[in-house]
A and B are shown apart, each in its own frame.
Chain A
Amino acid sequence: MLEVGGILSWIHEALSSSCPEWLTLLIEYVLIGVGFLALYALIALILILLERKVCAYYQCRLGPMRAGFWGLLQPFADMIKILMKEIIPLLKNDKFLFFTALFLVIIGSLCTFGALQFSKDLIGIDFNVGVFYVLAISSLGVLGILLAGWSSNNKYTMIGAMRAGAQLVSYELSSGLSLLTIVILGGTMQLSGLIEAQSETWFLFQSPFTWIAMIIYLIAGHAETNRGPFDLPEAESELTAGYHIEYSGITFGLFYVGEYVNMFTIAGIGTMVFLGGWQPFHINAEWAAGFNGVMDMIPTWLWFFAKAFGLVMLSLWVRWSFPRLRIDQLLHLEWKILMPISLLNMLLMALWVAYF
């Protein structure tokens, strides 16, 4: 009853009854595009507020309290401020690459965000190779970060970009391998298919190896979002701000927003492949039919956002408790610990699927 599917089909019917088919499609594409951008911005704003408040509570502070009730308007104030700031041009840098980098980061982030399935009916794109698409498009951001560091013509950004390159490329391996482990279990690469396969039980409870895959995915995903203890590319206390030192005003703002939404996207993908996406929590037993019925009453988009924000909170908890790793320790963790474990885990999962 609280699903959005009804509204969507009502819009579709209203449009197709009054317009030719091509116009209907055009209007719908534009509406969906605008809707995604709006959701993207809204989630970024929510995450910025959440981060400031949560980190404040971890640190025995209150965080922003003045803009609006309980500081609720703070991200809007931040947004207006950052929009009005001057974009400082650099004298000796590669201007074309400097701005291209920015768009690569934001496009990579937005396209991955588009693959999320927010509820039963709220699905942007659903390829038959959805997992593959997510893995491919999310690595566009690395290119953007590398270019940003290179084109700024600054030694600090250069070091930051090199660190980012090494880190993101490495950790994509682990996160990719743990997603593939789930593909083996689910038997499909289509994200909606994977979610459908979890309607009875979430993947997390279908196999013990999913737990290992999920822990590795969360570590690697956390590293891919450049957040502490893996925030080496930015490393505030070492490289001042890493690859985005030279960006100012909204150019920096886009990096900032991209980073926050990436955090949500990583959590969202984790939700979809491990925690059943928008599927309600069901106990697969006869006596639990009543319980399952109650769970079904909760709208599916609420399930998705609750799980995704739960994972985001986990990420914030880690971010504000741990000190930063060193670059050699970071690579050691990936290449010598996480990757062998995920390879082994994938093999075990294949055996599990074959024999159980």
Chain B
Amino acid sequence: MEKTLKMIQSVSSSCTKIDAADVMVSVDKKDLHKVCEALYKDGWDYLINLTAVDNVENIEIVYHISKSADMEKFMVLKTNTTDVENPIIETVSDIWKSANLYEREAYDFFGVRFLNHPDMRRLFLRPDWVGYPLRKNYDNTPNEGIPSKVHDMDACEDVPSITLDRHGEIVENHTKLFGKNEYVVNFGPQHPSTHGVLHLRVSLEGETIKKIDPNFGYIHRGIEKMMESMTYPQMLFLTERLDYLCGSMNRHALCMCVEKAMGLEIPKRAEYIRTIFDELNRIASHLLGWACMCNDMGSITAFIYGMRDREKIMDIFQETAGGRLMVNYYVIGGVAQDIHPNFVNRVKEFIPYLRKMIKEYHTLFTGNPIARGRMINCGLLKKEDAIALGMSGPNGRASGWHCDVRKIAPYAAYSEVDFKEILHDGGDTIDRYMIRLEEIEESLKIIEQLIDKIPEGDFRAKVPAIVKVPAGEYYQRVENARGDFGVYLKSTGDKSPYRIKFRSPSMVAVSGLDPICRDTKIADLIMIGGSLDYVIPCIDR
């Protein structure tokens, strides 16, 4: 880490180290692009997250970076601009492809414009929205800022960008997204196979896809903004509304983030229960992902089979926690209540049952010649592209990228269990398909190891009545069913956070649709969408 710091300092004199424990480096915005380029050359090729924070006197951009070859390395890079009225910062989207959408998001919520970014449209809000809602001075009285005129869809096709001209002056450019003669079809927001209210604008040539432009925001609820006025225990309930299929894991991330910040010691029992719940949730999510992908390919029977077995997990959840989809089980310091007396037995019955069923899935669907013909060599994602897009999780592992947070930075009880990180190296649709079924088996293995060893004791630590997180910045990663889910938390020591941001692995997956699907057929777009297994509420937040 010292070496990296020295390397950065050699590039930029303005670099200062802020935090002793984490490597948190601040860089002047003039040197940002240079520093990022140097970091990228040094192997820091995975931009985990990019977020903006409004500190009133300045606007800060925070980059969380890691090395794809050595995922345990983690650093935070910061830069800021004091020009709050018209903040402009150089883009890093030419270095890390994944920055593209993050920077658009920062523009949408904070009004930070990125120099040389090819596409400075709003990401979630309408193009004619007034103001930047996550700014601290934003007037959020109802109906303020909501445009009254009828929204013109053509406005979405206007792509603004800012560049410097020869004299160093900033010029604004406008281009059109699609040519006049392109055959553009809207997939969604109401479409059976976009897995939610995703809107894809697809340029077609016959049946062949030429370009895809994802359009988000149809289920944007402003969760990050809402959380800024909530207490920490209240916030937990919203985390499960992000990616509703792996709600427990998202909640786990926020719980751990707060617990670590407060220095809380979690009872062993709670950690075990959480791990088992996480894995059950992962199985449920993968089953649904598998089922929906089969449905996308036209095999409705497989869909029903997947849903049927997922239902069994929902029943187990319901018995202990009361909830089925949104379990609402974890709280800060442990879990809400002890496990149900039947829990252990039912989980033990479920493990052999699911193993048998997975065999059936393989005979029913995996071996099917039509399914194999559709999936093999279709929708290739190379490892370099997966890293450049930041596509972690099962999708990244299908391309051969070792990126399982459970292995890289073990949390809860993952360090005590023996499991394999499934890696494939093909990167095509069948790899993404197989990896989910194989991960279910690994998850079953994890549960099998833990279920008999749940230690006696408290299920919840003693937590102060009013949870206050000490001032500072925290970042917690978990591996949810779709990949590297992260919580960035900035606290001023208050009972609600100053800024909170979730890293959505689904957003990354959707950003990969365009490069993966070019020159494939419409049917492949649907199938690849199913294989990437994104959940829209997690993208829109």
Contacts and interface: CB of A to CB of B under 8 A. Distances in A.
Interface stretch (B292-300, B401-409, B416-424, B457-465): B292-300
18 contacts: A155-B183, A159-B207, A229-B298, A235-B298, A236-B192, A237-B193, A320-B300, A321-B301, A322-B299, A323-B368, A323-B370, A323-B374, A325-B373, A326-B523, A327-B521, A328-B521, A329-B370, A329-B373
Main secondary structure of the interface of A (DSSP, over half): loop
Contacts of B192: 236-237, 240
A260 interface: no
A59 B300 contact: yes
Interface residues of B, number: 31
B540 interface: no
Interface string A318-354: 0011111111110000000000000000000000000
Contact of B301 (A58, A231, A236): A58
A327 B298 contact: no
A200 to B, nearest CB: 38
Contacts of B371: 323
B304 A238 contact: no
Given A159-B522, A323-B298, A60 B373 contact: no
Interface of B: 183, 185, 191-193, 204, 207, 294-302, 304-305, 308, 364-365, 368, 370-371, 373-374, 521-524, 526
Interface of A: 55, 58-61, 155-156, 159, 163, 228-229, 231-232, 235-240, 320-329
Contacts of A322: 298-299, 368, 370
Given A237-B298, A326-B524, A327-B523, 17 more contacts: A55-B301, A59-B300, A60-B304, A159-B207, A163-B207, A229-B370, A235-B298, A238-B523, A238-B526, A240-B191, A240-B192, A322-B299, A322-B368, A323-B299, A323-B368, A324-B299, A329-B370
Contacts of A58: 301
Contact of A324 (B207, B297, B301, B308): B297
B191 A324 contact: no
A302 B322 CA distance: 55
* Most B CB within 10 A of own CB, among A58, A324, A329: A324
Contacts of A320: 300-301
B523 A59 contact: no
Contacts of A60: 304-305, 308
Contact of A155 (B185, B305, B373, B523): B185
A237 B296 contact: yes
A156 B188 CA distance: 12
B156 to A, nearest CB: 17
B374 A325 contact: yes
B428 to A, nearest CB: 14
Nearest to A231: B298
A-B pairs with lowest CB-CB distance, top 10: A324-B298, A323-B299, A323-B297, A59-B304, A237-B193, A326-B523, A323-B298, A155-B185, A237-B296, A323-B371
Which has the most chain A C-beta neighbours within 10 Å: B183, B296, B373, B522?
A: B522
